[in-house]
Amino acid sequence: MNKNNVILDGISLKKKILLDLERLRYPYSGIAAVFRNLAKGFESENKTLDLTYFGEFSSLNFNLSKKIIWKKWHKFFERFSQNFDIIHVSHQLSSYFQKNYRNSLKVVTLHDLNFLHENISKSKRQKMLGKVNNNLKNADYVVCISDYAKQDLLQNKHLFAFKKLKGIEVIHNGIDLPADKIYDLNQFAYLKNTNYILNIGVLFDKKNQKSLIEMLPYIEEDLVLIFSEEKQPYATELRERVKELKIEGRVHFLKNVSETEKYALLQNCRALCHPSIAEGFGIPPIEAMAFGKPVFLSTFTSLPEIGGEVAFYFKDFDPKSMAETFKNRMNFYEGNKAELTLKIKNWTKQYDYKVMSSNYLRFYEKILEKSIS
């Protein structure tokens, strides 16, 4: 009998896990893609635990065994969470399941503490700190999505009112690695014969897309920006900078792109450029590398951990220096394309969503065993 099952009157009862996936309400976001993959992996990999999902599931293209449909008022009132052995809040900013559970283990996934390092007002930083603390203070375990995020948490642990923390784990995010096939550009077919570099992410100062726009006059490629959300005033500043540099025809802003279209755009790009200065993990670089594409990253936060030796790095954000790095490294890539493409693709296997889900399942089993012993 598995230790995560109990016997009651001769009947085997599996340990019950509640997984909070309320962020699926933002289906075009990177975090929603991670959560879809986590649920998909659980449905195929789990054999020993009784899993129930909490969220809004219209963006899923597969069935879930058990689910509780998200309602906004659940943040104020619900009577079901105390019936689970583990309550897993999968995002540190979730407004749900914040209570102190006496008979359940609470797990919180921490994606990043970027707000501590961003150029924001003191009041906004305190507000964000309060939201994260509302989840972490009653957590039994915290799962960080990168070693960088874990070290950042440890260095700033004094800012959080942990009441019963038992451990901190690292489990990398995972993606559904694209199938080996040709993807259709559909509405973006006009880019088929265009040489372009690609960036994927919220239009936000920490994503640093402005540096790519300012690099553009020194390279031949166009720039395609895929985004699900834009933050002001940064998004307006980006568009104004494009006009100032007179490169309107070379910068393409694409909002709320479907998964298939995103893969097609990745498949047809020359390279992905992701010069972010604050990143808890970084899904877009993994997605690009799954196609064997060269990836250019900043040296900040988690990106060197995620890109490893198969990525290229901008040493600074001076436009001419970035352009020089880009051209030199692209020449190297083109000269060794067969070897590097295979090496880059192989690197991404560690980020397969089934690896992520298996790691979480093993983690659940480990902490359940500890709670029994």
CATH of 5-175+352-372, one of 3.40.50.2000, 3.40.640.10, 3.40.190.10, 3.30.1360.120: 3.40.50.2000
Model confidence pLDDT, tens digit, residues 46-62: 989 999 999 999 888 88
Confidence of residue 119 (pLDDT cuts 50, 70, 90): confident
Homologous superfamily (CATH) of 186-351 is Glycogen Phosphorylase B; (3.40.50.2000)
Handedness of CA 185, 226, 356, 292 (dihedral sign): positive
Distance, in Å, from the CA atom of 269 to the CA atom of 252, rounded to the nearest integer, reads 13
Do 84 and 53 meet the contact criterion of CB atoms below 8 Å apart? no
**Quick one: DSSP state of residue 179?**
P
Q: What is the rounded distance in angstroms from the CA atom of residue 87 to the CA atom of residue 107? A: 6
Domain ranges of the chain: 5-175+352-372, 186-351
Q: How far, in Å, are 142, 274, 286 from residue 176 at the CA level? A: 24, 20, 10
Indicate the range of 32-36, 123-127, 237-241 predicted with least confidence: 32-36
| pLDDT tens, residue by residue, 282-334 | 889 999 999 999 999 999 989 999 999 999 999 999 999 999 999 999 999 99
Is the pLDDT score of 165 beyond 90? yes
Question: Where residue 11 falls among pLDDT bands split at 50, 70, 90?
Answer: very low
